[in-house]
Structure 1
């Protein structure tokens, strides 16, 4: 399976919604016609057809991300890990400050095809993922000191000044290095099973 990438969250949610629609339409042929996403002459292209095509093209990637998102949530709950509104504000407020006006911030959101609630959800999920990984694969003080000694001329800062930046870099490196390992561990822990035969086959590729 492909690696977990939170940036796919919006697409993943979209596909989940389409999957629900597809199930309901499979039981109601009339709904497939009335819920068309496009028409070509007298022929309707249904939401079911759209979902099936999207599943073929990106299904394995999206289902992997959906599984990883849910695993993050369940593992965070098991570990008592939470993200506060203040922590999300600390990520979003600098964006607002940089853009200076509410109008510019709305343009920023429109360019990314989301509203502020969705942006907060995105950052909340990112922060939750980071906290889960930080607890699973913590950065030690020795690792931070080792990195600093190797890079202190480039950093141009004292150890205390550089420490937060180094810790963040090392946490990111840990996430990249251990993401597949973590995902496999969590899939076993929470008994993950893919039920759709098409997605099962894609996952093997």
Structure 2
């Protein structure tokens, strides 16, 4: 059940709140004061709601708790880093979704329903599924929206990153890391050939993460002037 709950927290998303515009100067000032309370950042004119940020932050704190870390006990500097990381993640997600829309990437309802079906399949029945939603403070509508976004992001990254291949040396480097860790924990070290298929997947995942990070950094650099932090 914890594994499923953790999945829900990773998928957690808040409702996007867009600020209203008005030609009246008094309304503009009123909206400005309102946005300062309700919006933490804008990305190319699109708002990131404070509600969304707080919800994602609470999910992150819950993940720390599941890993045995009391968020209340970590020092102030670490808390600031976590808060900044959550905000950066929301900004980066917004940038990717905007770029995906510009690329004409979209997903159909059948794809979304299939993924939701996979989620429900992890539970014995609908009652248990609904209980997990309640436990993780997420509605089915929010879950559906996040699934849609995740599918779009996956398609976008597949298009822009593509297939990643690794060399034998890169696989051996992962093996050396595994071997060092296993020896430090006094565990049995399996030979390279036995571990190779698994090691290749790890090496590919690591390299793809690096490519994704680089792509995100490029997006941030290109759009930095259009990102406003209000937090």
Q: TM-score, normalised by structure 2?
A: 0.49
Q: How does 1:144-183 map to 2 (within 5 A)?
A: 172-183=205-216
User: Is contact 1:88–1:123 with CA below 8 Å preserved after alignment?
Assistant: yes
Residue 76 of structure 1 and its aligned partner are, at CA, apart by 0.6
1:110 maps to 2:134: yes
1:123 and 1:175, CA in 2 relative to 1: closer, same or farther beyond 3 A? farther
Which residue in 1 is equivalent to 2:218?
185
1:133 maps to 2:157: yes
1:193 and 1:91, CA in 2 relative to 1: closer, same or farther beyond 3 A? same
Equivalent in 103, 107, 125 of residue 79 of structure 1 = 103
CA distance in 2, matches of 1:26, 1:71: 21
Residue 116 of structure 1 and its aligned partner are, at CA, apart by 1.0
Q: What does the per-residue CA deviation read over 1:23-73, in whole Å, with 9 as the maximum and x for residues that have no partner?
A: 32979xxxxxxxxxxxxxxxxxxx9xxx8xx8x845422321221121111
User: Is contact 1:82–1:128 with CA below 8 Å preserved after alignment?
Assistant: yes
User: Is contact 2:11–2:146 with CA below 8 Å preserved after alignment?
Assistant: no
Which residue in 2 is equivalent to 1:7?
10
User: Is contact 2:12–2:143 with CA below 8 Å preserved after alignment?
Assistant: no
1:61 maps to 2:85: yes
- Number of residue equivalences: 152
Q: TM-score, normalised by structure 1?
A: 0.54
Residue 14 of structure 1 and its aligned partner are, at CA, apart by 7.5
Structure (1/2) with the larger helix percentage: 1
User: Is contact 1:139–1:170 with CA below 8 Å preserved after alignment?
Assistant: no
Residue 100 of structure 1 and its aligned partner are, at CA, apart by 3.5
CA distance in 2, matches of 1:25, 1:189: 25
Residue 109 of structure 1 and its aligned partner are, at CA, apart by 1.0
Residue 179 of structure 1 and its aligned partner are, at CA, apart by 2.8
Gaps in structure 1 of 5+ consecutive residues: 1-5, 28-46, 157-165, 200-205
Residue 82 of structure 1 and its aligned partner are, at CA, apart by 1.0
Q: What does the per-residue CA deviation read over 1:119-167, in whole Å, with 9 as the maximum and x for residues that have no partner?
A: 1122222221111111111116xx49x8xxxx997799xxxxxxxxx99
User: Is contact 1:8–1:62 with CA below 8 Å preserved after alignment?
Assistant: no
Gaps in structure 2 of 5+ consecutive residues: 1-8, 19-29, 38-49, 58-78, 169-191
